[in-house]
Amino acid sequence: MKDSSDTSYKKYGHFSDDRKEFIITRPDTPAPWVNYISNGRYNGLISHTGGGFSFYRSPKDSRITRWRYNSLPIDRPGRYVYLRNRETGEYWSPTWQPTATSLENYECRHGLYYTKISSEYKGLKQSVLYFVPTDDLELWKVSLENTTDQSMTLDIFSFVELALGHALVDLINQPNDQHFNDVFFDLNDQILYASKRYWVRHSGASVEQTNEDWDKFVFISASLPIKGWDGSKNKFIGRWRSEENPQAVEEGACTNSEITSGDAVGALQMELTLAPGEQKDFTIIMGVAPKPDYKPVARELVKKYRDMATVVQEYDKLCRDWDDYLQTVQVDTPDEQMNTMLNVWNQYQTSVTFRFSRDASYYHGGLLFGRGYRDSCQDIMGPVMPRPEWVKERILEMSTYQFENGSTFHLYQPLSRGGERTGHSDTPLWLPLAIMVYLKETGDFNFLREETPFYDQGNANLLTHLFKAIEFTLSNLSERGLAKIGPGDWNDTLDYLGRKGRGESVWVSMFLAYILQEVVELCRFLVLDGEMHHYQAAYKWVKESINTHCWDGAWYIRATNDKGEIIGSSKNKEGQIFLNTQSWAVISGVAEGERA
């Protein structure tokens, strides 16, 4: 019998002894293995070979760097460092990509919101540590050590390809969009600045757009003196070349290009001489600043992070913060892999989904849908114990995407404040669930008094927002007392059952019953007797309706469509039973006796 602990990932890496890092030991993985760097505002995806992209708050509306989807070679471009031996002219990348040079002792450590890639090449030990500090920028801390008995002089190049604003427009309308790029170098500040004079925030396909600039400037600098730079992709890369063999790197000199149109990049050139046995560190700094006062903001931040001691302090703070995050929940089981998952990586994963809500990942490019409303409400369950203040802020945000009638957006854009109302029948109920989870974990019942605006008109406290969501669903029940499914529910593939307004969702009916049970207890605690009796009666009605109309003889059906046909019945040829209506029948208290 095969040992169940012999998992396929071990061919490419393993967990560190403290289980807080996954160590990739060879670069040629089946697909890019991607990590996140973030402070909750400034965000980035970083692969095990330096690929990925950066954005500020929204991966669609405020993309900083470019990343090509379905590109060949895969995982291009990214955050690249090129090292060139001045004496021989040979160049390579310590992250393997994009030069794909055969490296010795390659290793990538994906940790909690940081990634460190290390390798050796011809007597040079090299590593790049990527992370986001408390300020809105990212740091690449580069360490180089000369292990030979000869002095070594290196030309050093850092490179990113810039998107500068709306990522989807950058992807599909690049020939026009690139007319508005600005990249220039300030000799006094030793900072490369980049922005765009045209920013699309319209959510549809239209030639009618607001005439405005992107509201940010990107700034790029280093702790080493900068001897050259390029803002033009064509100048740095050269004709008929790629990131693998840039002309500027091959020739050992940037062209000092600045642009007011064309494909934008941020490339810096530095140099460093290492004596035999000498080790030196330096940092590449890339961040965003608000356009009105970008220069003083950028100058102050660059000055701060040119100090290597500050860089080390910020990294140490990041590690301490996540050690503190993890210590809130720790378990000890006989299964070491279970402990690894529960104590570290599941907690990390839920923090990532909370921050990004599947809006930006290797698979979801962050180009179209924005954040899911239901997803964002569900994602509060991960950090509610270690970081309840995050959850409180998120629920307040989510309440502002509710309409006065209790309905909500199904998808929303946190930066541009737009969204899409699809009519999914379950979506409004996730806000009450999120509020109840927060209240039960924190006991912060004063939270219910906080006021936020509805998206369309008026303001209300959180308790009213909660009631509004429930009342909206109660007002959209069928004649049989079941929730209408409309264009869909939690099972997104059941999206054409009820578009004529007659189909019913048994699962949403059970979800509603669960929420009603919860709010009855809340009203009891708050001594709101009228509301308590109202929701008790509603619960009884919905529960009776489900048990009367939805029991198939051995299990609960899943839904009905506009024609009255049953989905999830023993009489169906396919899809006879759906798990959700069995588990939620118990969760909601709808199923009793043998049915439970």
Catalytic residues, by residue number, are 492
List helix spans (H) across 379-505. 388-399, 430-442, 462-474
Contact between residue 46 and residue 115 where contact means Cβ atoms under 8 Å apart: yes
| Cα–Cα dist 247/262, whole Å | 18
Dihedral sign computed on CA atoms, order 396, 400, 404, 405: negative
Q: Tokens representing 217?
A: 């400037």
Helix (H) / strand (E) containing 473 = helix 462-474
Q: Tokens representing 301?
A: 């931040």
Query: Which amino acid would we find at residue 342?
Result: L
CA 205 to each of CA 67, 165, 201, 359: distance values in angstroms, whole numbers, following the listed order: 22, 17, 11, 20
Cα of 33 vs its chain's centroid, Å? 15
Write the secondary structure of 188-235 as one string of H (helix), E (strand) and C (coil): CCCEEEEEECCCCCCCCCCCCCCCCCCCEEEEEEECCCCCEEEEEHHH
Alpha-carbon dihedral 35, 38, 40, 41, rounded to 10 degrees: -120
Map residue 91 onto helix, strand or coil. strand
List helix spans (H) across 372-429. 373-378, 388-399
Q: Tokens representing 5?
A: 């602990």
Beta bridge partners of 230: 257, 267
Phi and psi at residue 211, to the nearest 5°: -95, 85
Q: Tokens representing 587?
A: 């969760």
